[in-house]
Amino acid sequence: MSSSVQLFRDQKYQELKGQCIDQRRLFEDPEFPASDESLFYMRAPPRKVEWKRPKELCEDPHLFVNGISSHDLHQGTLGNCWFVAACSCLALQETLWQKVIPDFKEQEWDPKKPEKYAGIFRFRFWCFGEWTEVVVDDLLPTMDGKLIYCHSNVKNEFWSALLEKAYAKLAGSYEALDGGSAADAIVDFTGAVAESIDLIQGRYKEIISEQMKLFEDLLKVHERGGLISCSITASSGSANEMETKMGLIIGHAYSVTAIQKLRLGERLILSFKAEKLFMIRLRNPWGKREWNGAWSDNSEEWKKVSNSERKRLGLTVENDGEFWMTFEDWCKNFTDVDICRIVNTSYFSVHKTWEKKMMRGAWTKNSEPLLNRSGGCFDNRETFLQNPQYIFDVKKTEDKVLVSLQQEDRRRYKKEGKGESIPIGFEILKVEDNRSYRLHKLTVQERVATSMYINTRTVFLKRVLKQGRYVLIPTTYHPGIVTKFVLRLFTDVPSKLRELKADKPEMTCWSLLCGYPRRVTQIKIHSAEDLQKQDRSGGADPYVLIKCENQQVRSAIQQDTTSAVFDTQVIFYRKNIDSPIVVQVWNSNVLCDQFLGQALLAASPGDPREQQTLQLRGRGSQEAAEVPGRITVKVFSSDDLVEL
């Protein structure tokens, strides 16, 4: 077993199995006993539940019968359609379910060696940033000799019932699985990045261009091994599990099992004249009750489709819970979709490879403001910056950034009445290009992205960011809430994501010899105007160089202009406060860059804090000769090192 896999309750599968085989007994799990406490945390079962092993339910039990399929699963009496829908999605991807059910051949019943069977199974889930192995026995809850929860459509197949038991053990009880999100279960099965989309709010049924973009996005996710589920939120006048006129169930999770462009028409000798339809296939976890509109199993529309195309689509006309519909009808009838992307981080791939960074953190309370880490959302201006802060860099001119913030799974706290997810979200601020200490004041920082704040386990955001340095601040909506989180960031090139822990430069023994900063200064170089022309076309390729003591920060080069907008921010912790900060403008050349002028800034606390425009001068003192061009800057200084 990989050392990266954690053991739930420290139970070692091979060791426990070996003990059972040696003692010729079947495993009984002391951590999840065959009793009512494993079934319910609030109520007692309506009738007596009997725990039985598969051998007591059929003659020839198997983990799998004829492989694994999304048709294997049927929801039982538990309200966990979301879990069953996630299992149906999982069954579509062999590489994914084999991570969840490791060494499945070794776990299978072997009729030739019955003495090797110990009634013990193991499953793995991606829990809060790491794979966790959960061990269970094969005692399953039954009534009248039948499984009462998730089961297969084949009587002697038990992978789904055993997987559900392992997931219930992780949650604390079967009842803790009553109600949930298919996206959460898919993330637990795969480590995917989950994104939830509100189809009503996004007006996907009305705006055809957005509808087509979503179809292409879902098609790409599906083709690259991602998993998708959808549902219909109950509105006023409707209730969960009510059936619509079109045969769909409200408040019920469906798994997406295929996305296709369907060809209508006949192939000609030299060309192909056909109409293309955008289609989606869904499965109801109940294994019955299907869509009865256009393109349902027995609808007239299928007569337009050739036999070869039907075969390619795998069309079956059965009441098996699986059905096709057009993407347009899907957008009109469903309200929510959960997209779980398997983000590719492998360098040996034909698809885009993402750079991934993951951080574990926590919101914690402390009466000392500089130590408090639970400041609430941006609306709490006095405490917002007391939250954990993470810094990262965008190295390209522009880069697409994926951010996933996940709070700990709270299902296990349902028994204490604290099972609801906490509203969480995050802000992304553009900060100084050289910042390496925590933010303490919102001054020139620009809010470039804000996630939604919602009480779901995961909050996701996709955004294109410009080159520069950013601080990402994960928060609870309300201040003073304590819980843990996992933060994941995906970029095209390495982002160097790291937590900002220090408030200011550290005082060391060297500080006594070399001096300790006495002043903090923040500078924003907005622009430069009317610079000296440097080439035949009348332009220049300017950049700014900001120098302070032994530090310097260089801006990006602006191409072919004598009036450039830089929007470059820097921050310095200064030991020699009598030495001015030098802001120089240079022209970029292939062989040797050319000095265009500079300005000297005293940057004292009493200096004006408003934006100011300064004349460029030659090298030397403040009285050096003027040269063409001006720069517009904003400066703020303080002798309190934790003010900025």
Q: For 560-590, write each residue's pLDDT tens digit.
A: 899 999 999 999 999 999 999 999 999 998 8
The verdict on 182 and 258 lying in the same domain is: no
Helix then strand then coil, in percent of the chain rounded to 5, is 20, 35, 45
Model confidence at 383, pLDDT cuts 50, 70, 90, reads very high
Instruction: State the residue for tokens 């885009």.
Output: 352
CA distances 583 to 371, 551, 556, 568, 600, Å, are: 35, 12, 14, 11, 6
Question: What pLDDT shows up at residue 258?
Answer: 92
- Is 507 inside any structural domain? no
In the Cβ-directed half-sphere of 5, how many Cα atoms lie within 13 Å?
Answer: 17
Q: What is the CATH number of the domain that holds 381?
A: 2.60.120.380
- Is 644 inside any structural domain? no
Q: What is the CATH number of the domain that holds 337?
A: 3.90.70.10
Does the pLDDT at position 530 exceed 70? Answer: yes
Check if the beta carbon of residue 29 is closer than 8 Å to that of residue 35.
no
- Is 1 inside any structural domain? no
Does the pLDDT at position 553 exceed 80? Answer: yes
Question: What pLDDT shows up at residue 466?
Answer: 93
Nearest to 288 by CA among 63, 54, 84: 84
In the numeric block, which tokens belong to residue 44?
């007692």
CA dihedral in degrees (459, 462, 467, 471; nearest 10)?
-10
The verdict on 293 and 439 lying in the same domain is: no
* Average pLDDT score over residue span 427-454: 92
Does the pLDDT at position 347 exceed 70? Answer: no
- Is 262 inside any structural domain? yes
Question: What pLDDT shows up at residue 153?
Answer: 86
Question: Mean pLDDT for the chain?
Answer: 90
The verdict on 93 and 231 lying in the same domain is: no
Q: How far apart, in whole angstroms, are the C-alpha atoms of residue 147 and residue 145?
A: 7
Does the pLDDT at position 384 exceed 70? Answer: yes
204-213, 253-262, 528-537: the lowest-pLDDT one: 528-537
* Average pLDDT score over residue span 595-612: 93
Nearest to 339 by CA among 257, 459, 218: 218
Question: What pLDDT shows up at residue 273?
Answer: 53
* Average pLDDT score over residue span 467-480: 96
- Is 475 inside any structural domain? yes
Does the pLDDT at position 64 exceed 60? Answer: yes
Considering 160, 190, 220, which residue would you say is the last residue of a domain? 190
- Is 505 inside any structural domain? no
Does the pLDDT at position 557 exceed 80? Answer: yes
Considering 500, 533, 566, which residue would you say is the last residue of a domain? 500
Count other Cβ atoms within 10 Å, centred on residue 454.
Answer: 14
Model confidence at 541, pLDDT cuts 50, 70, 90, reads very high
Which residues have CB under 8 Å from 543's CB, separation 6+?
Answer: 554, 555, 556, 557, 558, 566, 585, 586, 588
The verdict on 597 and 617 lying in the same domain is: yes
Question: What pLDDT shows up at residue 126?
Answer: 96
- The DSSP 8-state label assigned to residue 331 in this structure reads H
Question: What pLDDT shows up at residue 326?
Answer: 94
Model confidence at 620, pLDDT cuts 50, 70, 90, reads confident
Nearest to 460 by CA among 334, 337, 327: 337
Number of structural domains in the chain: 4
Question: What pLDDT shows up at residue 622?
Answer: 81
* Average pLDDT score over residue span 318-325: 83
The verdict on 131 and 233 lying in the same domain is: no
The verdict on 456 and 530 lying in the same domain is: no
Q: How far apart, in whole angstroms, are the C-alpha atoms of residue 355 and residue 423?
A: 28
The verdict on 17 and 143 lying in the same domain is: yes
- Position with higher pLDDT, 9 vs 511: 9
Considering 163, 190, 217, which residue would you say is the last residue of a domain? 190
Model confidence at 269, pLDDT cuts 50, 70, 90, reads very low
- Position with higher pLDDT, 165 vs 322: 165
The verdict on 281 and 421 lying in the same domain is: no
The verdict on 332 and 370 lying in the same domain is: no
The verdict on 203 and 182 lying in the same domain is: no
Does the pLDDT at position 281 exceed 90? Answer: yes
The verdict on 362 and 496 lying in the same domain is: yes
The verdict on 541 and 568 lying in the same domain is: yes
Residue type, 138: D
User: What is the pTM for the complete model shown?
Assistant: 0.89
Question: What pLDDT shows up at residue 237?
Answer: 62
- Position with higher pLDDT, 263 vs 100: 100
- Is 307 inside any structural domain? yes
- Is 593 inside any structural domain? yes
Return the active site residues: 81, 252, 284
Does the pLDDT at position 1 exceed 60? Answer: no
* Average pLDDT score over residue span 157-177: 95
Does the pLDDT at position 558 exceed 80? Answer: yes
447 phi and psi angles, rounded to 5 deg: -75, 110
Check if the beta carbon of residue 89 is closer than 8 Å to that of residue 97.
no
Check if the beta carbon of residue 616 is closer than 8 Å to that of residue 596.
yes
In terms of residue numbers, what domain contains 254? 194-341
